[in-house]
Structures are given as structure tokens and as C-alpha cells.
Structure 1
Amino acid sequence: MKIQTSVPTGKVARASQFMKAGVKVGGNYIKHYSKKLMDPSLSKDELHQDNAADIYDALSELKGSALKMAQMLSMDRGLLPVAYSDKFTMAQYSAPPLSGPLVVKTFKTYFGKTPAQLFDTFSVEAVNAASIGQVHQAWKDGKKLAVKVQYPGVADAVSSDLKIAKPLAVRLLKLNERDIDRYMGEVESKLLEETDYELELKRSIEISEACAHIPGLIFPKYYPELSSKRILTMDWLDGLHLKEFMKTNPSQDVRDQIGQALWDFYDYQIHTLRQVHADPHPGNFLMRANGTMGVIDFGCVKVIPDFYYDNYFRLVNPDTLDDATLTEEIFENLEFITDADSPKERQFFSDLFKDMTRMLAEPFAVDTFDFGDDAYFTKVYAFAEGLANVQELKNSKVARGSQDGLYVNRTYYGLYAMLNELKARIVTTKPEWLRSAKEVA
């Protein structure tokens, strides 16, 4: 694997890396259309593969928020062509690691000691490298440990990276610039939180202790004395990431056990703790043949405001959409429709978001749900793809949807996607008030 000996930290150096990616993308388009002159039937598959590789290479050199954005995009199968989502998936746990000397330098900065002075043994070669940091294996007092070391400079570059990346996102993904601006503050605040390992340490201990009663979940113990603002030490957990786990051909029963643990984990966080592990990608879960699963990385936690929670989940109750007045009130509260909308726009967007709500809430409308039902996910992805082409959304004078929905929706999207890949059949536990009155009767 390629080893990285430095990370661009200055604004000019990082901006140059983004520009380099943009130039390569432009060159790929020229190459594509030149070939298309010779062969009009040529598809964009090769173009997408070339662009995905060039953009990923640039972002992986930058690390931090730039690579984190690729990781987030890889979770959204409906947003990007397959070539992008497949390539960007590498950002979840297979980014190029930093060299040993840079790792040692980080320890000296925050502890005044080398890893060899802090641990009985410490492997300077990373066993895992993702967007914000990389993981090393260590031993101390007979315990096997995982030590997460943050890439240098990523915390200081979050704000400037997002500003530089915006034009590339608008051009490549055809995203509405107004929508990007609307959610930029929420994204920036979460990325800044993810670079604060002292905050992650606090949340990791609190949430793992609160969820320790959930069957099938394994949480590591954390070590404050071996952690700092940029270094986090915890017990080593064994297990396989989702794709590797599925290659072992686990039984339906084992897949159901792990899927149920996933569902129960998120159900308890959202409805009881009102804060949630909002980074549900496969790199944060370690699955085992006995049906248990390790949970790591509480860097991205979304605290759900009561007002948003009450409105969002009232929509999940199947009875709500039968009440036109209540539905309209909730849509206004969640900013799906606004006072600036004409009667025609209100009707259009109300119908659109009713359809979306009915579809995404299907698992909540039943006691058990088969997430292996590919027909359901084909329908969801087709709807998401269709949304990208809805002219009324593109031409709307306002961005639709509360900023609080960004990470809540992302959480459910990631959860559904993992359960689908597991082909898990789930008992969809939920608060009693989310059940239809017809169902209760």
C-alpha cells in the first residue's frame, strides 16, 4: 500500500490539490468527447471511472474533511454513478496511511513522548486508515489496544476545505449551490467535532455505557490517560467489516442477529438518548461469526433537538398522512413547504414529500421487515434518482428541509443500506406512539 510522508496543510497547498483534481476531470471530459466523435455509442462508464480515480487520489492526499466528504458520498448510492461510490468507499477504511515518522511526531507534540515510551509495543505501520485519522495496534499491561492518530492539520483546514470543494461539488454532482450553502454550517460543525478527540472520548464513554444493555453489541473500553485532542486509545476489537464479513457466507440467523443489534442500537439512541452515532458506514462496525458486533468511532454524533424529533417522527406514524391539516403543519415545521410558496407549489411539494414519507417509513409500518427485499431498495433508489431531475426542486427559490434533517436522514440512509447488504430480517422495535391506531386496535 502507498505510504504518505506528508499532508498538505496550508490553504494554498490544499487549494492547489483541489485545482489539480479539477484540471484532471476537465482533461477526462475532453478525452471522452474526443472518443465519442469516433464512436457516438460510447457510454460514460470510462469517464466516470477516470474521474472517480483522479478525484479520490487528490482527496486521499488531503485527508480530513475533503476525504470525509468522499466517504459520505459513498454511502449515497442514488447520488453518484457506481464508479464514484465504489471508489469513494475506500475512504471508509482504506485510505493511504501516513508514514511512521509523522505518527511519532504527533505523539511527541501531544504527550512529549514517543509511542515506544507510552506503550509496551506499538506498530508504527497503520492497520487501518480512513478520512480523519488512522489506527495503530499497540499493547500495554497485557491488553491489546487500538490507537487512533489524527492526520496533522485536518482540524485547521475544515472551513477552508469546504469552501474550496464547493465549486467541484456543484460542477461534478450538479448540486444546487443554494442547497449546499444552506447545509454548510451543519456539515462544518460536525466535521469540526469529529476532529476533537477529547469530545469523541467523552461521547464514546457516555453512549457505549448507555447502550451496553443491548444484546449483541460489543463496545471497547477507552483510556483517557492515553488519549488527547488528536490521539484516542481504546481496547482492540476483533471482527470483520461488512463486505469482508459477507464473503464468509454467514447464515441467515447470524445476519438477522447482527441486523437486529444494529436496529436496536439506533432505535435506543434516537428515541431514548436523543443523540445518535450519525456515521453509520461499514468501517465503524466489526461483525463476528457468533452474531455479535463491535461498535467504534463516536466522532460524529447528532444531538436531535426536541422540536425536530417531535415533528419528524410524527410523520412516521402512518395515521399522520391521513390528517391533511396536521401533515401540512408538520411540513411547514420541517421546512418542506414555506410561506413563500404559491398554492400550486404547496400542493406539489406536499404531494412529493408525502410520497417520500410513505416510502421511507415502510419499515416502521410493520412489526417485521425484510431488508433483503431488493424491490424495496430499487424503488427507493429510483425515487432518489428521480428527485435529482425534478425541475420544481431545481428551480425552487428556497432550499427544502430543516438543517437538522441532514444527519438524521443520513443516519437512516446508512442504517437501511447496511441492513440491505446484510439481507437481514428485523423486528422493527419502536415507541408505542409511532404505531397506527388501527394497528394498536
Structure 2
Amino acid sequence: MATIDNKSQKTIPSSKVQRVSRFVKVGAKVSTNYIKHYAKSVLDNEYTGKEELHKENASDVYEALSELKGSALKVAQMMSMDKNMLPQAYIEKFQMSQYSAPPLSLPLVNKTFIKSFGKAPYQLFDTFSKEAVNAASIGQVHLAEKDGKKYAVKVQYPGVAESVSSDLKLVKPIAVRMMGLNEQDVNHYMQEVEVMLLSETDYELELERSQKITEACAHINNIYFPNYYKDLSSKKILTMDWLDGDHLNEFLAKNPSQEIRNKVGQALWEFYDFQVHQLKEVHADPHPGNFIISEDGLLGIIDFGCVKVIPQDFYQNYFDLMIPENMENEEKRKDVFKSMRFIYDEDSDQDKIFLDQLFKSMISILARPFHTETFDFGDPSYFEEITALAENEENQKILRNSKKPRGIRDGLYLNRTYFGLYSILHQLEAKVTTNSIFFS
């Protein structure tokens, strides 16, 4: 299992005043870091400490978000999955929120159990780990035993569900200022993020979705799921089977063979392809903390808190352009781009031409693995091409200065799903047979 921060928290700022105060403090600290950075650059012509500035800011912001837990930390986790959005210092820090955030102390865990069941964990289980074995943004996991059977018990942090909306309002200025994101896009997509985060805080809904999707995906080769236990679960606590195995970084540290890497990658590809094209519901949080890998290359799926339901009309438009003939048909492409709100009638002719080529390039790159019998996700040139497109200054300038959001909100989590999937396959250096249900 992953190593987590041993410093447990005895309290979480839960009131709006407490949480606003913590955001104000980190904002002031970041401002101080900028002042120090610019003062040094003025006094010393040879000073090149931008990376030092990023490290200081990343550390300060992560410390605050880790203390607050919940939506703020979840957004940081989401951004850490996009290697093109943040400087490396932020990526390294924010990735810790995937499974190694500072855990809550046992007394707070006990309080949650007593509120849910009227009993402490020791009254429900034979053993219950005093310390969390895994701590992320919404909750933490404890190892429990009952009648000789091991369970993973996920306990939600206090106040997380109640603070989703207010936290996102506080995160917005950080996203706009620190990362230079388009404010229209941030406003547009925050509504989708809020809906998804609220669903993630409902463990009764997660249990229902977990059972539904695991049953539907039971036929997929080399994948295994835990069973879920309704009588030991509630709106704030979720109990499932304990799955033995490693997270991705631990798995890779053991230097597995290419055959095993490919086996894991193939299972991952088929799992996502079936969900997207058959269920139209997808596990939309593909970060390494949500998967367990056994020594023989079986893939365990352990978290269904974030599930995106894909509307049929959006699905049809999204994947229509994966078909090369449609992408090359200018009229068809423009109609889809308009319905997907990539391009608006009121855009200038010059912007329409630029945006048409930009989104055509983006979608063509995303679709490339679908158009070959096998795809080598270990090939660095593919990901260098993605990075070059994202980092192109002209592209960034046009999108950042846009007065309208680009893209339907439904695309946010589906794009994130594919990016996360491709990122994990790249880390595995997996060669995958990329047959898709959509094209068959």
C-alpha cells in the first residue's frame, strides 16, 4: 500500500468562516512568496528562482488544501492528472492527494461511526486499524477484520459534503490567477464539478453504483472487484472487501515484465471501453490511487465514487468525430463543433478557422489509438505531441482570452477519463490491442 503522512489531524475546519480564513491565509502566503521572488529578481540580475517560487507556493497551497480536505483537495488532485496544466512542482505535490494526504485521528473516525451506527468501529468489527492505510481527498480507508475476513472501510471526512459549494467558490480565484485559466471556462465547468463532487460524498449512491457496474463488468478478463456490504455502510461510511495488491507506483517499482504490463493495460482498456460504449456510465476518476494490481497482473477496481453518466446526444457527437471520414468532412465537422460549443456563430471568421483546426488536431490525437490494431502507449513521441499542442502559446492565448466557454460541460469528465486512462497506460508502457466496441 502507499505510504501516507503519519501526522494525523484532530480537527478539520468545518464552518464557512474557518474555511474562508484558511484560504485567505494561504492566499496571503502565496502573495508573500511572489513579493520575495520579485524582490530577489530586482536586486539580483542573475537570480532565476522561478522553480523555487513554484515549490514554495505548491507546498503552501497543498498544506492548506490537505488540512481542509474535501472539494478543494479533490480539485488539486484532478489538476495533478493533467501534466500540461501545472508546473512540475505543483504536480508532484498535488499527486500526493491521490492516496497519501494527512489522515484524520481515530477519535474523529469514532464520531462518524457513532453518528452512523450508534456504535464505535470496535463494536462492529473484531479489529479496526487505529491509523488510516490510505487517505485521499474525500475520505480515508481503514483495514478491519470480522470473523477472519478482511475489509476496507472508507470513512468520509466530517463536513466535506456540506462545504462543496462554498469551497469551489474559494478555489475559483486560485484556478484563475495561479494557473492562468480562462474565467469563463472555470465558471462553466465548476457547475459540473459541483454536481460530481456532491455525488462523490454520497456513499449510499456509491455503493449502488459500485454493485451495478461491477456486476455489468464481471465478464471482462483480468479484472476483479470487491464485494460491498450494505449492513456495514451508510451515507458517510462504505465497507467492502479488502483487495491485496499494489498501487501503480509500487507495482512498477518491482519492474514487472512487459507481458504483465500489457496484461494490466489491456484489462484497463477493455474496462473503460465497455463502460463508455455499452453502459454509457463510466468510472470517471482514473488516477492510480483507485486501482490495485496483483503480482500476476490482475487489476482491482476499488472506487466508484465518481461516475459520469453520458447523455446519448453528447455521446453521439463526441464519438462521431472519432470516425476519420466524419472528421475530414468539413460541413459535418463544423456542425458537430457548433453543437458541442467549440465554435459559436458570433466568433470572428479568423477565430473560427483557428478553432476549427485546433479542435480538429485535439480530437485527432485523442482518437489515434482507436485507429490501429494495437497501440504502444510507451511511445514517448505520442505524449510529446499532446504536450506540444497544449503548450503552444498561440493556442493558450486564444482559449484564455475567449469570452465564451469552449465545450459542453459533459465533456469535462469524459475528457478527464481518457486523459487519465492514457496517462496510466503510458506509465505502464503498455502495448494494447485497441479494438473498440464503438467501431465494431
Partner of 2:282: helix, strand, or coil? Answer: strand
Provide the C-alpha distance between the structure 2 equivalents of 1:161 and 1:40, rounded to a whole number of angstroms: 40
Q: Which residue of 2 aligns with 1:22?
A: 27
Alignment of 1:147-296 (within 5 A): 147-296=153-302
User: How many aligned positions are there?
Assistant: 434
Normalised by the length of structure 1, the TM-score is 0.96
- State yes or no: 1:403 paired with 2:437: no
Q: Which residue of 2 aligns with 1:10?
A: 15
* CA deviation after TM superposition for structure 1 residue 41, in Å: 4.3
Partner of 1:137: helix, strand, or coil? Answer: strand
Partner of 1:232: helix, strand, or coil? Answer: strand
- Structure 2, unmatched stretches of 5+, are 1-5
Q: Percent identity?
A: 59
Provide the C-alpha distance between the structure 1 equivalents of 2:438 and 2:233, rounded to a whole number of angstroms: 41
* CA deviation after TM superposition for structure 1 residue 413, in Å: 0.4
Distance 1:407 1:389, change over 3 A: same
Provide the C-alpha distance between the structure 2 equivalents of 1:191 and 1:82, rounded to a whole number of angstroms: 25
Provide the C-alpha distance between the structure 2 equivalents of 1:429 and 1:99, rounded to a whole number of angstroms: 47
Distance 1:296 1:346, change over 3 A: same
Alignment of 1:79-118 (within 5 A): 79-118=85-124
Distance 1:411 1:387, change over 3 A: farther
| Bigger mean CA offset, 334-343 vs 197-206 | 334-343
Once the two structures are superposed, residues 298-342 of structure 1 have per-residue CA deviations (whole angstroms, 9 ceiling, x without a partner) of 000000000000000011112211211111111111111112223
Q: Report if the CA contact (8 A) 2:103-2:135 is conserved.
A: yes
Provide the C-alpha distance between the structure 2 equivalents of 1:30 and 1:341, rounded to a whole number of angstroms: 39
Match for 2:55: what amino acid? Q
Distance 1:432 1:30, change over 3 A: closer
* CA deviation after TM superposition for structure 1 residue 239, in Å: 1.1
| Bigger mean CA offset, 29-38 vs 117-126 | 29-38
Once the two structures are superposed, residues 162-194 of structure 1 have per-residue CA deviations (whole angstroms, 9 ceiling, x without a partner) of 011111111111111111111111000000000
Provide the C-alpha distance between the structure 2 equivalents of 1:31 and 1:288, rounded to a whole number of angstroms: 48
Q: Which residue of 2 aligns with 1:323?
A: 329
Among candidates 27, 30, 38, match of residue 33 of structure 1: 38
Q: Report if the CA contact (8 A) 1:279-1:411 is conserved.
A: yes
Match for 1:109: what amino acid? K
* CA deviation after TM superposition for structure 1 residue 123, in Å: 1.2
Provide the C-alpha distance between the structure 2 equivalents of 1:290 and 1:402, rounded to a whole number of angstroms: 41
Provide the C-alpha distance between the structure 2 equivalents of 1:151 and 1:262, rounded to a whole number of angstroms: 29
Provide the C-alpha distance between the structure 2 equivalents of 1:322 and 1:128, rounded to a whole number of angstroms: 47
Q: Report if the CA contact (8 A) 1:103-1:124 is conserved.
A: no
Instruction: Report the RMSD for the aligned CA atoms in angstroms.
Output: 1.2
Alignment of 1:131-150 (within 5 A): 131-150=137-156
Provide the C-alpha distance between the structure 1 equivalents of 2:118 and 2:191, rounded to a whole number of angstroms: 35
Q: Which residue of 1 aligns with 2:3?
A: none
Alignment of 1:350-369 (within 5 A): 350-369=356-375
- State yes or no: 1:59 paired with 2:65: yes
Provide the C-alpha distance between the structure 2 equivalents of 1:394 and 1:433, rounded to a whole number of angstroms: 34
Q: Report if the CA contact (8 A) 2:145-2:151 is conserved.
A: yes
- Structure 1, unmatched stretches of 5+, are 435-441
Among candidates 411, 423, 440, match of residue 417 of structure 1: 423
Provide the C-alpha distance between the structure 2 equivalents of 1:332 and 1:248, rounded to a whole number of angstroms: 48
Q: Report if the CA contact (8 A) 1:78-1:382 is conserved.
A: no
Partner of 1:337: helix, strand, or coil? Answer: coil
Q: Report if the CA contact (8 A) 1:65-1:158 is conserved.
A: yes
| Bigger mean CA offset, 347-356 vs 261-270 | 347-356
Q: Report if the CA contact (8 A) 2:151-2:242 is conserved.
A: yes
Normalised by the length of structure 2, the TM-score is 0.97
Q: Which residue of 2 aligns with 1:439?
A: none
Q: Report if the CA contact (8 A) 1:222-1:235 is conserved.
A: yes
Match for 1:420: what amino acid? H
* CA deviation after TM superposition for structure 1 residue 293, in Å: 1.1
Match for 1:252: what amino acid? Q
Match for 2:223: what amino acid? L
* CA deviation after TM superposition for structure 1 residue 391, in Å: 2.6
| Bigger mean CA offset, 425-434 vs 80-89 | 425-434
* CA deviation after TM superposition for structure 1 residue 358, in Å: 1.3
Match for 1:329: what amino acid? D
Q: Report if the CA contact (8 A) 1:337-1:346 is conserved.
A: yes
| Bigger mean CA offset, 142-151 vs 334-343 | 334-343
* CA deviation after TM superposition for structure 1 residue 345, in Å: 2.2
